[in-house]
Amino acid sequence: MSDEHNVRGFKVCLDRAYHLDFHLWVKVSEGGSVRIGMDPLGLDTAGTLSQLEFADAGTIVARGEPFGTLEAEKFVGPIRSPLSGAIVAANAEVMSSPGICERDPYGDGWFVELMPFDFEGERDQLTEGTVTVVAAFAAKVDEYRRQGVLAE
């Protein structure tokens, strides 16, 4: 099965885990760190990104606490961490050109790299596995469509 799947019109990569309430993906890198970025549904609901800001490398974040801020449509909001850990790197390229996230959300559009403190312990908060991810993503899209926040 391909690593990519089209779910209700949104591209979903299946080689990673998701925090669907925060609209973030989490991909394990070599050495135990994880790379975090925003999924296309989150980007769609955010609107055109104009500004991104991330915590500096070395910053400790708790799960659910902000590791950055995002501005779209003149609306500033927090980007909450799906895991507890220490920021290892922040993507300066997307801070300069947030449009990269819209063009390549699963690749060059990553936000930060984080060294999790307890990945196995917090992993159950993430959605993983082809069937589960596709079903959960589809349910989220359907929920938003019912609320009228996505274009049909």
Q: Which of 86, 105, 85 is nearest to 94 (CA)?
A: 105
> How are beta strands 4-7 and 24-28 bridged, if at all?
unpaired
With H, G, I as helix, E, B as strand and everything else as coil, classify residue 146: helix
Q: Choose one: 10-18, 24-32, 75-83, 112-120; the region binding other proteins (CB under 8 A).
A: 75-83
Q: Which residue, 63 or 119, is less far from other proteins as judged by CB?
A: 63
**By rule CB under 8 A, what string of x and - marks binding of each residue 20-49 to other proteins?**
------------------------xxxxxx
128 binds other proteins, rule: CB under 8 A: no
9 binds other proteins, rule: CB under 8 A: no
- The separation between the first and the last C-alpha atoms of the chain, rounded to the nearest angstrom, is 28
65 binds other proteins, rule: CB under 8 A: no
Please give the backbone phi and psi of residue 83, each rounded to the nearest 5 degrees, phi first.
-145, 155
Structure tokens belonging to residue 77: 């909001």
108 binds other proteins, rule: CB under 8 A: no
Q: Distance (Å, rounded) from C-alpha 5 to C-alpha 47?
A: 22
By the criterion CB under 8 A, which residues form the site for other proteins?
Answer: 44-51, 53, 69, 71-78, 92, 95-99, 102, 144, 147-150
